Structure 1
Amino acid sequence: MRKTLLALTATSAVAAFTATGAFADAPRQEAMDTSSITSGTYATDPAHSLVGWRLDHLGFNDYFGIFGDAAGTLVLDTENLENSTVDVTVPISSVTVASEGLRDHLLRAGTDGAAPDFFGPSPEPARFVSTMVHPTGETSAHIMGNLTFNGQTHPVTIEAELAGMGTNMMSQKETVGFHGTTTITRSQWGMGWGTQFGLGDEVELDITVAFEKQ
């Protein structure tokens, strides 16, 4: 039903813009000039890098949360983007949600020695290591790699888009920023608690990372 409503809303919006000629009058977005970006090794700015997550809450609504302090490196080859690599680690213990009670549940130990429902009290960080970068446009790429989480490793593809670049006025370092999205099936990483009564198995990840030249 939600998809139907979104589709109807989008259709109505397109019709309205077309009827008023707004599309013709709207300014075209300038192509991003990437010529200033240089090859080399970049490190994340952990204070401004995070991973948002979203999953279905029992079929009623979606719930959101974030992981912060993402740390790692980008080795960028501007001449041959296929040779670029990404290696980023995200501390699962940094999970942030609106409900303190839910956060306690996410980090709660299992009962009587059983496995925890979710992350547990001392979760290992998640780590993504790229295996291939496939450019899909002037400022976009598919980044294929392996995600290690909850003691298991499985392949993941991130749809990445360059968000911005320049000199960071605070650190005075050459900086590039990226936005990425992907969807994982959490039970594939051994975390399927709640799926039996309708808690979503698919988790949408919304990634935003700033990398500073080293």
Structure 2
Amino acid sequence: MRKWTLPAAAALGVAALSIGSLQAQGGPAPAEVDVSAIESGTYTADAAHSLVGWSVNHLGFNDYLGIFGDVSGTLTLDTANPAASSVDVMIPIASVTVPSAGLKDHLLRAGKDGAKPDFFGPEPAPAHFVSTNIDVTGETEATITGDLTLNGVTKPVTIEAEVSGQGTNAMSQKKTVGFHGETTIKRSDFGMDWGIPFGIGDEVELTITVAFEK
């Protein structure tokens, strides 16, 4: 399942540096995933270490990349019946991170003369994902179906997810479960069709990495 876009790869690189620093201080590196050790309960997203990377094709030449950070929300986990688990997360849009200040301005710019914005517009509401079904497909994998509300539009989305780690966080001492996920959406489904006729991609690949803790 692992097909990382650059934002996620960069995030993992930062995580690797953090782990290296922790090991240098004598802390343990994360162990192999042992799903039998994961506890049921309600977990809260560690917003400082949870993000959604996105990638969209630019004029057929290359991919343009960005990040939505500070993901918040909850995971209600039932280890006896994982399909009964649920996730509810909020993804801030206004704080989108991109390499170009000009692009960020465009993403958050109001529409001209009262027209709709090309993208999110000023002061956009956070995106909101709520799971409606979890289908366990392997020891650490699941297909999560849910409703994504973005730009005032709600559409069904399916995420291929994987448990990426579990255990006690050596720094916070909190029980932590990490997940990676991938999905693809069409921005036109959410009212953002600017640039599609001249080659700005409609499909947006999302790479999700979230740490839930309790």
TM bin (shorter chain): 0.7 to 0.9
Q: Distance in 2 between matches of 1:84 and 1:64?
A: 31
* Structure 2 partner of 1:26: none
Q: Distance in 1 between matches of 2:189 and 2:115?
A: 19
Q: Work out whether 1:62 is the aligned partner of 2:63.
A: yes
Q: Distance in 1 between matches of 2:60 and 2:112?
A: 27
1:32 Cα deviation after fit: 3.3
* Structure 1 partner of 2:211: 210
Identify which range, 65-74 or 112-121, moves more after superposition.
112-121
* Structure 2 partner of 1:139: 140
Q: Distance in 1 between matches of 2:91 and 2:167?
A: 25
* Structure 2 partner of 1:34: 35
* Structure 2 partner of 1:4: none
TM score, norm. by length of structure 2:
0.84
Identify which range, 189-198 or 133-142, moves more after superposition.
189-198
Q: Which amino acid aligns with 1:115?
A: K
1:31 Cα deviation after fit: 7.0
Q: Work out whether 1:161 is the aligned partner of 2:156.
A: no
Alignment of 1:167-206 (within 5 A): 167-206=168-207
Q: Which amino acid aligns with 1:173?
A: K
* Structure 2 partner of 1:99: 100
Q: Which amino acid aligns with 2:210?
A: V
TM score, norm. by length of structure 1:
0.84
SS of 2:44 mapped into structure 1: strand
In terms of Rg, which structure is larger? 1
SS of 1:47 mapped into structure 2: helix
Q: Distance in 2 between matches of 1:208 and 1:178?
A: 6
Contact map agreement 2:33 2:164 (CA 8 A) in 1: no
Q: Distance in 2 between matches of 1:189 and 1:62?
A: 20
Contact map agreement 2:125 2:151 (CA 8 A) in 1: yes
Q: Distance in 2 between matches of 1:137 and 1:91?
A: 31
* Structure 2 partner of 1:88: 89
Q: Which amino acid aligns with 2:163?
A: L
Percent identity of paired positions between Structure 1 and Structure 2: 69
Q: Distance in 2 between matches of 1:68 and 1:93?
A: 10
Contact map agreement 2:32 2:165 (CA 8 A) in 1: no
1:77 Cα deviation after fit: 0.3
Q: Which amino acid aligns with 1:48?
A: H
Instruction: Give unmatched runs, 5+ long, in structure 1.
Output: 1-29
In structure 2, the CA distance between the partners of 1:32 and 1:167, relative to structure 1 (3 Å rule), is closer
Q: Which amino acid aligns with 1:201?
A: D
Q: Distance in 2 between matches of 1:145 and 1:206?
A: 16
1:111 Cα deviation after fit: 1.1
RMSD: 1.1
Q: Work out whether 1:73 is the aligned partner of 2:74.
A: yes
* Structure 2 partner of 1:108: 109
Q: Distance in 2 between matches of 1:126 and 1:168?
A: 28
1:151-173 residue CA offsets vs partner (Å, 9 max, x unmatched): 11010000000000111122211
1:137-190 residue CA offsets vs partner (Å, 9 max, x unmatched): 000000000000111101000000000011112221100000000000110111
